[in-house]
Structure 1
Amino acid sequence: MKRIATAVAAVMLLSACGGDPLSGGGADNPAPTDTIVVGSGNFPESRLLAEIYAEALSAKGVKVSKKLNIGNRELYFKGVQDGSIDLIPEYTGVLLKHVNKTAPEVGSEEVYAALKKALPQGLIVLDKSAAEDKDAVVVTKQTASQYSLKSIDDLVPYCKDMVFGGPPEFQTRPDGLPGLKEKYNCEFKSFKALDVGGPVTVAGLKDGTVQAADLFTTDTAITTNEFVALEDPKSVFAAQNVLPLINEKKASEQVRGILNAISKKLDTKTLLDLNAKLAAPEKPEPDKVAKEWLASVGL
């Protein structure tokens, strides 16, 4: 428990030191017309993808500025809508659920098609990549063995006795606890607000503070700690392909070409490899990992 408290305090301190990434933005202070403002969510993979977009655009002469580590989708999407952020890496399924909470689509192509139609006027998504990073209900190897867990269906009889951990927004998102209740009739004993697929959540699983948690399928902590990502036969979590969400006014032919070329090179194995590099003991900066990958694929 002490380790959890320490990790939470560290995250709060980092947030406080960084200030509000959207401060100074908003409808009254939109992004400059000659600059693409690239944003990211508050987890390593999002920051890495944002750096990839920013580095590739800058290398081709596009003027770029960055507002990284903004927060969750509920926060940064407002910035994209009001024009203080122009471009951000996104995931098809969760973005669709954000703009249309009752969207029934779960397959990759169906989700992508529905997303393009559901976005507010002025916002578009470009080509989706083959790279997919889904939310998953994750347990330790010991818990999976103890209860013979392979899927969320197997977990249902034990939900009432377990504490679930994840980012605060997982409590209310349609593909979070409400979705698990609706599709599986799984209601946990309690919920503990942790971080977005980060060290606090991993620590909570390891020391038993939580017995199940929300992690991303491309998180190297799953394999490193021998966690088990439970199968989702009823598709609470729809397809989540990586793609750029962008202000249509900033999506010139040149910009579209650069970003679509990145999507063409990204697949799930690449995402796993890049995340592994980010998590290496030397903890390289995301922009360094981004530059190295872009150079390796000729972008």
Structure 2
Amino acid sequence: MTTRLLRTATAVTLLLGAAACSSSGGSDPLASSSSPATSGKTVVVGSANFPENVLLASIYSQALKAKGVKVEEKFNIGSREVLYGQLQNGSLTVLPEYNGALLGYLDAKNTAAGTEAVNAALQKALPATLAILDSSSAEDKDSLTVSQETADKFQLKSIADLAAKAKEFSIGGPPEFKARSEPLLKDNYGLTFKEWKPTGETTANALKDGSIQVGNVFTTDPKIVQLKLVVLADPKNVFSTQNVTPLVNKAGVDATATAALNAISAKLDTAGLTALMKRVAVDKEDPSAVAKDWLKTNGLS
């Protein structure tokens, strides 16, 4: 999953409930703290150096400000290695992360799949000073995607639905995608494709023009919306869970900050994040303005 790891290695995630036990299997990161709420402190919101993470950090930052929390923004910092260290030493307080990628960073051999299992594993892997809050349903992950026309013609909703047609279909993705995914798709879904093509960044366009029938497209790629593509469900979790989740330094967040961040996770989904990224990456709108609109629309500003 080289392409995805290179991209998400610049972010930092973890997920766990924050205000009492959450539906994703988390717990309140403040519950074990004997110190009073940290009202009045400045919460430093950081981000990795790619547009989606900056957008998410801006959503976090503006939501906190709307609740009267003092916020400092430090966006476009760099890789996970740098970000994680700064969160540990308290230079940063909050980061938008991707739980599966973060677990891979902390415990490369862990095979947990699904939001709850990944979050439980993260809870064990994190140091006592850090916590993940509630996971959103929004994910930026690998997928098998088809055109709307192909989905309609063959009634495709899930990867499992490809079983009857895979031998007639060409599949495309980054050069390393075949080696990484061919055995997983065969073992889990019984899929054998006609041809594997190295389409890389042109995968979405190749789906639209019919050069391939199935493609590996990241789930928040703006071209999914722009070209009206269909992401197939993955009930067997062949592709790693990558829920967007706040990772926090527990000493720097109080109940107000925790509730504000969890409220974002409750509203944020993959389709919504994809639409926001179209505005940022395709329409070239300012991430801060896009974040402001989303918060207002969802009653969080």
- Residues 266 and 158 of structure 1: is their aligned pair in 2 closer, same or farther, counting only changes over 3 Å? same
Preserved CA contact (<8 Å) 2:220 2:273 = no
- The counterpart of 1:124, out of the listed 130, 134, 141, is 130
Residues 137 and 214 of structure 1 are in contact (CA less than 8 Å); yes or no, is this contact kept in structure 2?
yes
- Partner of 1:141 in structure 2? 148
**Paired residue secondary structure (2:56):** helix
Separation (CA, whole Å) in 2 of partners of 1:109 and 1:253 = 25
Give 2:82's aligned residue: 79
Deviation of residue 279 (structure 1)?
2.5
Residue 51 of structure 1 and its aligned partner are, at CA, apart by 1.7
Deviations 1:64-108 (A, max 9, x none): 32116x5xxxxx222234439845312323433454445343343
Secondary structure of the corresponding residue to residue 63 of structure 1? strand
Q: Deviations over 1:111-135 (max 9, x none)?
A: 211122134x477342123433253
SS at match of 1:279: helix
> Where do residues 278-297 of structure 1 align in structure 2 (5 Å cutoff)?
278-280=277-279, 283-294=284-295, 297=299
Of residues 265-274 and 105-114 in structure 1, the stretch that sits farther from structure 2 once superposed is 265-274
Q: Contact 2:54–2:75 (CA<8 Å) still a contact in 1?
A: no
CA distance in 2, matches of 1:228, 1:221: 11
Whole-angstrom CA distance in 2 between matches of 1:272 and 1:146: 23
Q: Distance in 2 between matches of 1:169 and 1:95?
A: 21
Which TM-score applies when normalising by structure 1? 0.63
**Is 2:215 the partner of 1:213?**
yes
Answer yes or no: is 1:163 the counterpart of 2:165: no
Contact 1:53/1:259 (<8 A) preserved: no
Conserved? CA contact 1:159–1:187, under 8 Å = yes
Contact 2:246 2:261 (8 Å CA) reproduced? no
2:70 paired with 1:38? no
**1:62 match: secondary structure:** strand
Gap change, CA 1:81 and 1:267, over 3 Å in 2 = closer
CA distance in 2, matches of 1:276, 1:192: 27
Per the alignment, residue 257 of structure 2 pairs with: 258
Unpaired runs of at least 5, structure 2: 1-9, 12-41
**In the TM superposition, what is the alpha-carbon distance from 1:147 to its structure 2 partner?**
5.2
Letter in 1 for 2:233: E
Counterpart residue number, 1:233:
235
Identity percentage of aligned residues: 32
- Structure-2 separation of matches of 1:123 and 1:177: 40
Cα distance change on mapping 1:260 and 1:239 into 2, 3 Å: farther
Is residue 70 of structure 2 the alignment partner of residue 65 of structure 1? no
Which of 177, 180, 184 is residue 185 of structure 2 equivalent to? 180
| Match of residue 108 from structure 1 | 115
| Count, aligned residues | 250
In the TM superposition, what is the alpha-carbon distance from 1:49 to its structure 2 partner? 0.5
Return the alpha-carbon distance in structure 1 between the equivalents of residues 291 and 82 of structure 2: 24
Contact 1:58/1:64 (CA < 8 Å) preserved in 2? no
User: Following the alignment from structure 1 to structure 2, what is the Cα–Cα distance between the partners of residues 208 and 131?
Assistant: 30
Aligned-residue CA RMSD in angstroms? 4.0
